[in-house]
Structure 1
Amino acid sequence: MQFAKWHGLGNDFVIVNGMKEVVGDYHKQALAVCDRNFGIGADGLVVLLPSEIADFKMRIFNSDGSEADMCGNATRCVARYLYENQLTDKTVITLDTLAGIITPELIFENGRLVTVKVDMGEPKLKRGAIPLAGDPQEQAINIPFLVEGETYHITSLSMGNPHCIIFVDDIRTVNLPVIGPKIETHILFPKKTNVEFLQIVDRHTIRMRVWERGAGITKACGTGASAALVASVLNGYTDRQATVKLDGGDLFIEWASNNHIYKSGPAVEVFRGKYLL
């Protein structure tokens, strides 16, 4: 199986052209391919397929074999992969995902690709759309949340996948490997959740660490960075444009007047190869 290894700020993916390659059982292959000791090693397996409603269909499988609705970093990588492998000559590409149509745009300056900008769509704030237990029409902004005897104040929303955002004074004090999985699998999140801890630096800068649903600690999370800005605005901490500083680097996020979230950042190919099934 031919593959390419890409990353967006260290959030890494194995991309396979499913229109040419036979992948087999996607869930099983994700577990094998993503294993960092016995496989290629990645946070996720991305399979590209034909679509009747968009330019391409993108299916994303986490390192634990579960299927993700959407992934912002993978979207940037896929857009550049498609363009540079001459699968499309478009610089604005539509991708069919479980979260709906996502539209990445390749941004060039003087003929050189400088960033990939993704229209992440509109944030969903009601509990029923996240989903989060409780009144489906209510929002969850700065609400108390009890985990293992400790009370956190969370803001929860969906960017095509669920996010639980917690603001802290010092992000270095967060024991992410311990608290992350406990919140991810909490009974209040029927489809589990991504978990983001945020430290506000100033009104245009956010420091973030993430525990991703189905993948654990990752260097970056595009949907998480998007949710981070939304939560920060809703709680009055930042303006509607900010740089989100992740373990793997920076993403620029904008919550535009049309209510859409736009995310800009890099996408890098690491290597290509043949995976022996």
Structure 2
Amino acid sequence: MKIPFFKYQGAGNDFVMVDDRTETFPQDEKQIEMICDRHFGVGADGLILLQNDDISDFKMVYFNSDGRQSTMCGNGGRCIVRFAHDLDLIQDKTVFQAIDGEHEAILNENGVELKMSNVPEVQNFENHLFLNTGSPHHIEFVQKVEDVDVKNHGKQIRYGAPYFEDGSNVNFVEITSENSLKIRTYERGVEDETLACGTGITAAVIAAFEAGKISTSEVNVSAMGGELKVKFEKNLSGGYENIWLIGPAEYVFGGEIEMKI
């Protein structure tokens, strides 16, 4: 069984996209893991299915590179919007469904602007902050992010208390000005550092504002794979809303995947 695929990337965070409006793609963990393998497959941080949805333009179903269905992926969300546009399903605006609910998005000269889920609270601990931006994120502030052993230190935190098997994404953040920061992220499910993590970038900006380390509600973020921007509003109850993740989302190449039924 041969299935067409299309590879997209957003700031180096790369995804295999499949038009699955017929819902015939075999959702087999081992096969998805093989497709995402950078030596034996297409190579990607995750695989995303675009499916029909009854109440919005389309539905996003996201799998990490370990083959398991996962929580929201911000850059994946931006890339599937570009994919839907390239399929002529949408024009410059859309509303779609993901695992964490409904998302709006806009395509313009900035790339793709994706509205993220609201964040009702940020947990502040002695050495880190924790919040959920559609996926769970552990945030640590560091003096120089280039010096961090992201893979090993991130792995220890991801599997350690209090996260254990469910795990958390782990972000190391350097504040560079009142409205900018640098970030490196260890992603669960990928089990390695990725070049950019959309929900992690969103979490880092909100955590930095909550901790008083930045002072503006529109923040520039430098990830390993490129430049993104986050804007947000803090509401009267102390949570965050009207959160937008902004950055590039581009087609890379396409082909066919040989699948076992």
Select 2:36's aligned residue among 25, 30, 34.
34
TM-score by length of 1: 0.86
Percent of aligned pairs with the same residue?
34
Aligned with residue 62 of structure 1, among 64, 72, 75: 64
**Aligned pair partner of 2:246 in 257, 264, 267:** 264
Which of residues 157, 161, 164 in structure 1 aligns to 2:138? 164
Please give the secondary structure, in 1, of the residue aligned with 2:40.
coil
SS at match of 2:90: coil
Matched with 2:238 is: none
Match of 1:136 in 2: none
Structure with greater contact order relative to length (CA < 8 Å, sep ≥ 6): 2
When the two chains are superposed, the root-mean-square deviation of aligned CA atoms in Å is: 1.5
Q: Is the 8 A contact 2:57 2:90 kept in 1?
A: no
The aligned residue for residue 159 of structure 2 is: 185
Contact 1:229–1:255 (8 Å) recurs in 2 = no
Aligned residues: 249
Rounded to whole Å, the distance in 2 between the matches of 1:203 and 1:47 is 38
Question: Which 4+ residue blocks in structure 1 deviate beyond 4 angstroms?
Answer: none
Map 1:234-273 to 2 at 5 A: 234-238=210-214, 239-256=216-233, 259-273=241-255
Aligned mates of 2:79, 2:59 — CA distance in 1? 14
- Other-structure match for 2:83: 81
Question: 1:220 is matched with which residue?
Answer: 196
Shift of residue 171, structure 1, vs aligned partner: 1.0
Q: Which runs of 5+ in 1 are unaligned?
A: 108-112, 126-138, 145-152
Unaligned regions of 5+ residues in structure 2, if any? 236-240
Query: CA shift at 1:46, angstroms?
Result: 0.3
**2:155 is the counterpart of 1:140:** no
Question: Does the CA contact (< 8 Å) of 1:43 and 1:218 recur in 2?
Answer: yes
Q: Which moved more, 1:114-123 or 1:38-47?
A: 114-123
Length-normalised TM-score, structure 2 = 0.91
Post-superposition Cα deviations, 1:20-58, rounded to whole Å, max 9, x if no partner, equal: 473213423320110111100000000111112322111
User: Is the contact made by 1:23 and 1:29 (CA closer than 8 Å) also made in structure 2?
Assistant: no
The residue that corresponds to 1:232 in the other structure is 208
Whether the aligned pair in 1 keeps the contact of 2:116 and 2:133 (CA below 8 Å) is: yes
8 Å CA contact 2:53–2:97 kept in 1: the answer is yes
Question: Is the Cα contact below 8 Å between 1:6 and 1:13 reproduced in 2?
Answer: yes
